[in-house]
Structure 1
Amino acid sequence: MSTPEANINKKRIKTEKKTVMDPIYLEGIDCASCAKKIERAVGKINGIKASTVDFATQKLFVELTGDVKTDKLIDDIKKTVAHVEPEVSVSLKSENKGNEHDHGHDHKGSKTQQLIIRLAVSGALTAIAAFSPLPFILDVSLFVIAYAIIGGDIVYRAFRNILKGQVFDENFLMTIATLGAFAVRQFPEGVAVMLFYQIGELFQEIAVNRSRKSISALMDIRPDYANLKVGNDIKKVAPEDISIGDVIIIKPGEKVPLDGKVIEGQSMVDTSALTGESVPREIEAGSDVLGGFINKNGLLTVEVTKVYGESTVAKILDLVQNASSKKAPTENFITKFARYYTPVVVIAAAALAFIPPLVIQGATFSEWIYRALVFLVISCPCALVVSIPLGFFGGIGGASKSGILVKGSNYLEALNAVKYVVFDKTGTLTKGVFDVTSIQPKNNLTSEELLEYAAFAEVHSNHPIALSIRKAYGQEIDESRIQNYNEISGHGIQVTVNGKEILAGNAKLMNKEHIAFEQKDVVGTLVHVAIDKQYGGYIVISDEVKEDSARAIQKLKELGIKKTVMLTGDAKSVGEAVGRKLGLDEIHAELLPDQKVDEIEKIDQQKTAKEKLIFVGDGINDTPVLARADVGIAMGGLGSDAAIEAADVVIMTDEPSKIATAINIAKRTRRIVWQNIIFAMGVKGIFLILGAVGFATMWEAVFSDVGVTLLAVLNAMRVLRIKNE
């Protein structure tokens, strides 16, 4: 069986009216097939284009066809869910303002306790009936009572669903199999199958809830409160009630509740929940802080710059919790497979029960009906429909633990097929911070004099190059010494300093003023300086390559990436120098944003249909290219609205090597998912054959259903333990 090709939507720039509702919470959804029923039923409601139920997070995602009345739609959804699954309650986010994982646990706990009591009572009655020498009528009565105690709810649900036209589910399979066992006088096995099925359901629920809690723990960054400063008082309020410009106090040990700027105080902050970085970051007055950081030691006074809904912590929570609504092709395939698989095996079981006794001499109906019942128990597809979504959700949770936000399991699966990686340069492979890296004075000038003249010339400019020169100078500039300031567009600056005419700019300025100068081939931007028409030397401004970039390229090549490419708007000499240093395969320089899209198109034509291309950019000026690539990855996207909006994957640190980590996580997730698929289908296939030919009894059937499901769920939970690779 091969993985279906990932269907990645390449048009992701939001230009039209939002048609996706906020997620709706489904409390009490304990089985994956129940989730599928709700998904199909809600999808048929007028005004709904598509619906997705995420079993792992117990959420319903709804896409609308256009303008619809939300209140009426929510009422329709509640009625539909109540009709399909009466045990499931529907609630909105506004009704659960706190952590949605907190509500309803007492209810679940009481249900679990009730099930344990029922198991104990039914098990005791079954043991008495099976091992005590009782009259036949009393014996059968005990089996029936034991069956009613442990299986009554399943039989009820099966008949209720049949009346609603929902026939083929696990309740139907278990009811037919166990009542059939009673019909052929296999009373102990009939009760035992229901007992073990319910034990399996209990352990499955425990495993799934543990998985949900593990994933929730990864996202335990939501602040519970904020300390709002009002005059001389401090009030503890909900983060949602804070406005832009409000001043909040963050005490040692507290979570930073909202994005803001430190106006007073100094401290170390733990950023690991957002970035995966274990080393605390030092901050002081003037530093930016993001919601989700943890203040380690100092007292901080912070001015809020974003409301809670727009803050980094809120966006990250939304991204990770809602990521699995975008399902991987393997998930969609398994969902469709399970939907058609169950009716097929029921028909096959019916044929197995009635055809052989009619055509095989000596065959009895009781023997072949028993085989058919075993066949039905084995056929239940729980292992697949539960473990596969959990596997992908675990992969997304594991990635977030490493500081990598994946917006959907479809993108996680697509990373497995990546063969071409295209990078932006500035802010992605380089730090995006311009610094003076070299000062080369001429004609008896000193380095200090050359830098001073350049700093005075650039005093009024806000260009990054001018800022870097003034930063390198590091002294206060006395503007009274400056006269006749003149900015020459596209060339540089002309100014008089202490009676001397200073020219600072590019080669075009030197040529324009007929000044002989040195043209050097260096990595970076050259600022030439002339004093009274005499060449004074040049200053090199360059963007440093990140320490992590070379290792990132090496790790990608070790993973089998065919080609690494860099697209940049910088000068050709600069781009090629960076590319050579990092060992990139191709460098395309001096490109405008639309020309970057053209280059992506050319690379796209080189790859096969199954191969994927990712573009890695800073997410601000690379939006068109991020949208065009099969998978768009935003580097340094922490706090960048454009990055979070446009990209499919957001690397929450500035480390390009996290791209290789994301691919490794995707590969490990796929391995575990396919282990479950092959294991579950392999074991079931073997036992189906054994059951059909009469070698497997109900006991083996229970293992092939309940046992395989538990093992598959436990295997899926291994994905959560993914570490940085």
Structure 2
Amino acid sequence: MKFKKSLNLVNVAPSAPPTDTCCTSEDRHSDNSETIPDDAVGHKTEFIVFGMDCSACTNTIEKAVRQTEGISQVQVNYSTGKMKVVALEEAVFEKLPATVERLGYTLEKVQQKGNVRTYSIEGMDCSSCALTIENHLKSQSAVKHVSVNFSSGKMTIEHDNTVEDIIKEVSKAGYKASLVSRNRSGEVKKGKSGINRVVLSGVLLLIGFIGSYTGVSEFLVNVIYAAAIVLGGYKPAKSAFYAVKSRSLDMNVLMTAAVLGAAAIGEWFEGATVVWLFALGNILQEMSIEKTRNSIRSLIDLAPPEAFVKSGQQLIRKPVEEISVGEVIVVKPGDKIPLDGEVISGESSVNQAPITGESIPVDKHLGDSVYAGTINEHGSLDIRVTKLVEDTTISKIIHLVEEAQEQKAPTEAFVDKFARVYTPIVFILALSVMLFPPLFIPGTWGDWFYKGLELLVVACPCALVISTPVAIVSAIGNAAKNGVLIKGGAFLEIAGRITAIAFDKTGTLTEGKPSVSQVIATGTTEGELLSIAHTLEEYSTHPIAKAVVGYAKAKDFNALQGEKFRNIVGKGVGAVIGGQEYFAGNLKLFQALNYPVRELESQIDHLQQEGHTIVIVGTQDKILGVIAVADSVRETSVKAVRDLHRVGISQVVMLTGDNEGTAKKVAAQTGVNRYFAELLPENKVNSIKQLQDEGYLVAMVGDGINDAPALATANLGVAMGGAGTDTAMETADIVLMADNLEKLPHTIKLSRAAIRVIKQNIWFSLIIKATALILIFPELLTLWIAVISDTGAALIVILNSMRLLRIKN
């Protein structure tokens, strides 16, 4: 997933001319240019600048470009790596790449796109509304692309006309649009005009009803009902007009047709009642749906919009959008951290629950990473900014969650297809009932017309269409608040059906920080053994190799001069030291070298049975010794495995490259009921396939990097520690933001609850529709009861889905 960066224009004083030496850390993070105003006269464009290694480079480029004939203004921003240029003629821009290339840099022109903006839409109460808005805006020549997402209440649109024009066009379709500003929630401020119309319509309906029983003339009563219809039905009728114009058949069209039909046959009370109930139901639905949408919008407001930036001995308050990478911000006790960064001064406890879902604050010291949106609880912190506002972890979470809302689950896609077929069929059936039966079956034309109107109301599949997306948005919002990113409804559904979970051992079930527990030197001294091991393992990134190197350094045994280093996959490493080739690895390595290890087998077996991983060091002719390494099991892993069994996961499996003894001990400590040991990287994939062949739906849990093939092979990939690595957030289907498994059982429980709620909603909607259809022909159904069955069912479905927001860990 790639995140677009925008140009930050920062007002700073020019620095000294650049030199060949690298600039200081303070200079490194300054941008030496004047801000170019948005209304600057001339042709404007942007370039990406490659090759800048410090902010002094910006002066060099700016001076050279400014001297180019025809350039009126130029601004280079080191932090974003971009250059903004204003020229008198567009042809001048063609000269710039060659000019900058002579300085040792390269340019790439940023492709100019239309104005892509995001709007928040008020008034949508089912996905048909979103389709109506899309179809209407697509007919506008100034609109290049438009996508309306009912679940999030957002519209993304690329257009050449003004924001006011777009808002006006959306208003024509009967909805309210509001531009979402960057990094703000864009929550639409609710107007009360709709509610007032519904209230007034209800009052008129009541007056008319009372008047009909108190001797008021029928004409006057019908006028009062007509006024109630106009007041309550204005918005649906307006939306219906644009829906028909856009060739959409939504609930507004069906309801408007039903009301007009009722008025045509003189059923003014029925028509007014239908309008009022429909409008009231829509308002209640909107209020309920907004609560689910706000579960995501609340994330957007986690990070403060401004920060205190350190400038010498002063603190300057600046908008977060204007803060560059490398600047130092100060966060006082009790304040939220505004940007991702690294602590350079101070100590404190930070509440990371908004990002990771961890309930216990984490101590932060010099060099530790902190995240935007988290809360500094105690001491003051000086933080060097490491990411621009649009690249912070919370921004990526919001981006991923909003993308997840737009991804349709298989069930939702099926329901939408069903509704597209169901609605026109029932609509045609309603017209048929109005027109044909009176020709062949005794009965008045008015009776059959009324039955057709009832069918029109029943044709609205609102409850059915809304049954899945609201449940998915609620579940994804709940998960996000608890530090779990579910990247779409499809993955939510898969998680709810998982029957087996496979864990990578190192760093997932265990701490991933093994330490040397024992050194056995057999063919040399302990010092020489550790020096050779240090040399062999120095360039390896494997946790066990790091443990050996760290132990040797702690004992002051330095690495020797080595050459011809080679990695022996799944077995160990080799290198030439002092003209002799040495090896460090597992038992398989020395068995492959045909070296007899019988004299050490008993010691090795004993250590392995105690849960140690063994590193044997030697040559093809001689074993120098054995280093035993052990990793500790995470306490949270034990609890997580226990809770997974409790929620009904039948197979909890551990995958490891360690020996049988270590695997057996860790399995016993964690409670997994099955393990695969001594696996090469490719064997983990085979283990996943074996579980799938046995009939299990498998989730694989790893760190998102080393376990990528297994994560991809599994039915569901789950990465942990997403807050610390962008790769984990990008590769997995579900991301546990904290570096522990505590939230995994909650995710499974939540996913299963979501599937239950979706099934309940679908069956309830279908049963209500079927019942309403059956009751039409025995004349047991009235128009207003049909409306209650439709809007009432939709409201019940929404409220049932909202229960997912309250499921706790």
Q: Which TM-score applies when normalising by structure 2?
A: 0.73
Counterpart AA for 1:707 = G
1:36 alignment counterpart? 131
One-letter amino acid of the structure 2 residue matched with residue 376 of structure 1: L
Partner of 2:497: 417
| Contact kept in structure 1, 2:232 and 2:276, CA below 8 Å | yes
Equivalent residues in 2 for 1:623-642, closer than 5 Å: 623-642=708-727
Q: In the TM superposition, what is the alpha-carbon distance from 1:528 to its structure 2 partner?
A: 6.5
Whether contact under 8 Å (1:178, 1:193) holds in the other structure is yes
Aligned length: 676
Specify whether residues 635 and 226 from structure 1 end up closer, same or farther in structure 2 by C-alpha distance, changes over 3 A only: same
For 1:516-531, what aligned pairs fall within 5 Å after superposition? 519-521=603-605, 522=608, 523-526=611-614
SS of structure 2 residue aligned to 1:234: strand
Q: Name the residue aligned to 1:426.
A: 506
Tell me what 2:672 maps to: 583
Give the whole-Å Cα distance in 2 for the aligned partners of 1:471 and 1:22.
51
Q: Which runs of 5+ in 2 are unaligned?
A: 4-109, 566-572
Match of 1:320 in 2: 401
SS across alignment from 2:420:
helix
Moved more, 210-219 or 693-702: 210-219
Change (3 A) 1:633 1:585: same
Change (3 A) 1:597 1:48: farther
- Quote the offset at 1:715 in angstroms: 1.1
Q: 1:653, CA displacement in angstroms?
A: 1.9
Answering whether residue 216 of structure 2 is matched by residue 134 of structure 1, we say yes
Which letter maps to 1:27?
Answer: I
Q: Which residue is equivalent to 1:696? A: 781
For residues 330-345 of structure 1, the aligned pairs below 5 Å read: 330-345=411-426
Q: Show CA shifts across 1:388-445 (max 9, x none).
A: 21111001111122221101111101222323433322222222112233466899x9
Residue matched to 1:670: 755
Cα 1:641–1:83 change in 2 (3 A) is closer
Q: Which residue of 1 aligns with 2:182?
A: 97
In the alignment, is the contact (CA less than 8 A) between 2:116 and 2:159 conserved in 1? no
Match of 2:173 in 1: 86
How far apart in 1 are the matches of 2:495 and 2:115?
28
Does the C-alpha gap of structure 1 residues 78 and 142 become closer, same or farther in structure 2, counting only changes over 3 Å? closer
The residue aligned with 1:170 is: 251
Cα distance change of structure 1 residues 87 and 185 upon mapping to structure 2, 3 Å threshold: closer
In structure 1, give the amino acid aligned to 2:721.
G
Distance of 1:221 and 1:25 partners within structure 2:
20
Deviation at 1:189, TM superposition (A): 1.7
Q: TM-score, normalised by structure 1?
A: 0.81
Q: How does 1:244-393 map to 2 (within 5 A)?
A: 244-361=325-442, 363-393=443-473
Task: Give distance in 1, aligned partners of 2:675 and 2:532.
Answer: 40
3-state SS of 2:740 partner: coil
Q: Distance in 2 between matches of 1:420 and 1:586?
A: 12
Shift of 1:601: 4.5
**1:498 corresponding residue in structure 2:** none
Between 1:485-494 and 1:702-711, the stretch displaced more is 485-494
Identity %: 33
Taking a change above 3 Å as real, the CA distance of residues 39 and 148 of structure 1, as seen in their structure-2 partners, is closer
The more displaced of 138-147 and 635-644 is 138-147
Q: How does 1:86-235 map to 2 (within 5 A)?
A: 86-88=173-175, 96-102=181-187, 104-105=188-189, 108-166=190-248, 168-217=249-298, 220-235=301-316
SS in 1 for 2:755: helix
Q: What amino acid is the match of 1:82?
A: E
Q: 2:612 & 2:333 partners in 1: Cα distance? A: 43
Q: Verify the 8 A CA contact 2:170 2:176 in the aligned structure 1.
A: no
Bigger shift: residues 663-672 or 450-459: 450-459
* Conserved 8 A contact 2:120-2:186: no
Deviation at 1:563, TM superposition (A): 4.3
Q: Which amino acid aligns with 1:423?
A: F
2:515 aligns with one of 431, 435, 449: 435
- Structure 1 distance, partners of 2:416, 2:359, is 39
Secondary structure of the residue aligned to 2:704 is coil
Quote the residue 1:711 is aligned against. 796
Residue 499 of structure 1: aligned partner: none
Q: Secondary structure at the match of 2:308?
A: strand
**Residue identity in the other structure for 1:690:** L
Q: What is the Cα deviation at residue 512 of structure 1?
A: 12
> For 1:561-588, what per-residue CA distance to the aligned partner results, in whole angstroms no more than 9, with x for missing partners?
4544444444565445544654343415
> Does 2:140 match 1:55?
no
Partner of 2:765: 680
Instruction: Find out whether 1:547 has 2:628 as its counterpart.
Output: no
Segment of structure 1 superposing worse, 697-706 or 76-85? 76-85
1:242 pairs, out of 307, 316, 323, with 323
Letter in 2 for 1:663: I
Aligned residue number for residue 407 of structure 1: 487
| Paired residue type of 1:138 | L
CA displacement at 1:124 relative to structure 2: 5.0
- Measure the CA separation in 1 of the matches of 2:688 and 2:787: 53
Q: Which amino acid aligns with 2:512?
A: G
How do residues 611-650 of structure 1 correspond to structure 2 at under 5 angstroms?
A: 612-650=697-735
For residues 679 and 452 of structure 1, the distance between their equivalents in structure 2, rounded to whole angstroms, comes to 75
Give the partner amino acid of 1:655.
N
Kindly tell me: are residues 701 and 527 of structure 1, through their superposed partners in 2, closer, same or farther at Cα, counting changes over 3 Å?
Answer: closer
CA spacing shift, 1:48–1:210, aligned 2, 3 Å: same
Equivalents in 1 of 2:312, 2:258: separation in Å?
Answer: 71
Code of the aligned partner of 2:429: A
CA distance in 1, matches of 2:381, 2:146: 44
Letter in 2 for 1:240: E
Q: Is the Cα contact below 8 Å between 2:347 and 2:381 reproduced in 1? A: yes
**Shift, 1:321, TM fit:** 2.4
Give the CA deviation at 1:201: 1.3
Please identify, of 543-552 and 182-191, the stretch whose mean Cα deviation from structure 2 is larger.
Answer: 543-552
Cα 1:144–1:129 change in 2 (3 A) is: farther
SS in 1 for 2:631: strand
Distance 1:83 1:635, change over 3 A: closer
Query: 1:702, CA displacement in angstroms?
Result: 2.7
Maintained 8 Å contact 2:171/2:177: no
Check whether the contact 2:352–2:361 (CA below 8 A) recurs between aligned residues: yes
Superposed CA RMSD in Å reads 4.2
SS at match of 2:808: coil
What is the rounded CA distance, in whole Å, between the counterparts of 1:612 and 1:76 in structure 2?
48
Aligned counterparts of 2:555 and 2:663: Cα–Cα separation in 1: 34
